[in-house]
Every structure is written in structure tokens, then in C-alpha cells.
Amino acid sequence: MRINQACRDSLRKSRKIDVGISMNNVLDNILGRIEAAQKNNRRLLLVIDGKCGSGKTTLSERLCERYGCSVFHIDDFYLPIIMQTPEVMKEPGGNINYDRFIAEIMAPLTADSTVVYRPFLCMEQKYAPGVSLKRTGVNVIEGTYSCHPVLREIYAKLTDWEVITLFMDIDDRNQRDRVRGRVGELRFKLFEDKWIPRERDYFSAYSVREYCDYSISGMDDSILFLREDGNEA
């Protein structure tokens, strides 16, 4: 999906980040907004973008366990290699099938319908069996590229939803260690040479960090085990 000029122009109107606020306070703030939305029966969408290895998936899983929310992974919508044309791949973030994500996730989600989709398995270059998820009061979209401009346009139209955007950062050394530990030494070389630079190009081209409501860095596993009162364990 190509970005129209109006969308490109809107990128220059960055949203304000909460700065000078600790990671604990950011998470407490987000948890408080989630709990308030549930209490008031208000629909909420949390969008988590950021660097690979920063804890996006782990955080979304913890939130799912705590609040029973539905989680949608951008990684399930990577473009098959056969669709990765030079024209598409020269666009920052062009390796995601945004048309399919919009049709299979955003359209039914915003229409209060059951979401049915088939995750794409990058390693095997095939689609997995269908997944069916009902919309819940709190929904999470997580993964690098989840704040791409074509999706921002949709988020901006959800006027009867509360939309929260979070950017998760990590320093280079810890990122390398985490990704290497996750994918192994052979595949890590591909991440180091291709995917991590592509992420950086996307973050820079579309001012992703600046767009998000919150930004946190250095999250470790200890912060993700949340007590029932919403504080860290």
C-alpha cells in the first residue's frame, strides 16, 4: 500500500511524547487508563511499536493475561517473498501487508465483529490455519510497523475509542543479545544486516517515536510481572 501525499504531510505534525517520566510511571499510567476504560465500558486500543527485542510481545502477553484483551501481531502480516517487489520494499515499512491487516483485523474489529485471519509464517512462507478472536473491550496491536502512517489514519478515525500508542526502545547491545538469543547466530546475521536497519529507516522516515503518546526504554522481564494492584512485583 503506497502512502498518499496527504498522509505524508500529516507526518510532520508529530504528537507529543511524555518525557521525563519513568518507565514505572508510564506503565502505571497505561494500566490506569486500561482499568478506567474497562470500568466505564469504553473501548480501548493499545498500539505497541518499537525495536525488535524491546519487549513488545512480552508486554502484550502480560496485558492479555491480566485484562483478557485480544492481541493482534503485526508479524502475522509480513509480505510473502513473492510479493516483495523492489518498488514495495524501497518504502520504509514496505514489508508488511497493510491491506490484509486492515481488511482482516481493523475492519471487523471496528465493526464489532469477530476477527478471523490466517497468520503468515515467514520461515515457512505459508499461511497458518485460521485464528478467530472476538473483539474485547481492550485490544492490543503489537509489533514494529504497527504505527505506520496507513494505520495511523485508521486510528485517528476511532473517535469513540480510546487509543494509546507506546514506543518501546532498547539499547543496541541488549538488542543484539536478545535477538541473538531468540533466533540463533545464523539468523541473527540476517537481522543485523537487513531487518534492524529496515526498522531504523522506518522509525526515522515516519517519526514513530515522536508520534507515540509514550516512550519507554530498557524494559526487562522483572517489570512485566504485575501484581493485582497494578504495581511491579
What is the architecture of the domain spanning 14-220? 3-Layer(aba) Sandwich (3.40)
Distance of alpha carbon 55 from alpha carbon 50, whole angstroms: 9
In tens, the pLDDT along 34-87 reads 999 999 999 999 999 999 888 899 999 999 999 999 999 999 999 999 998 989
In tens, the pLDDT along 96-119 reads 999 999 999 999 999 988 999 999
**Which cell is 6 given?**
496527504
Q: What number of residues does the chain have?
A: 233
Query: Hey, what's the torsion of the CAs at 151, 152, 156, 158, to 10 degrees?
Result: 30
In tens, the pLDDT along 12-36 reads 333 444 444 567 788 889 999 999 9
Between the alpha carbon of residue 139 and those of residues 5, 56, 60, 69, the distances in Å are 30, 14, 10, 5
Instruction: Compute the average pLDDT of residues 140-162.
Output: 96
Question: Which pLDDT does position 227 carry in this prediction?
Answer: 40
Q: Where are the domains of the chain?
A: 14-220
| Distance from the Cα of residue 21 to its chain's centroid | 21
Within a 10 A sphere around the Cβ of 62, how many other Cβ atoms? Answer: 17
Q: What residues pair up with 232 in beta bridges, in sequence order?
A: 226
What does DSSP say about strands 162-169 and 214-217: parallel, antiparallel, or unpaired?
Answer: parallel
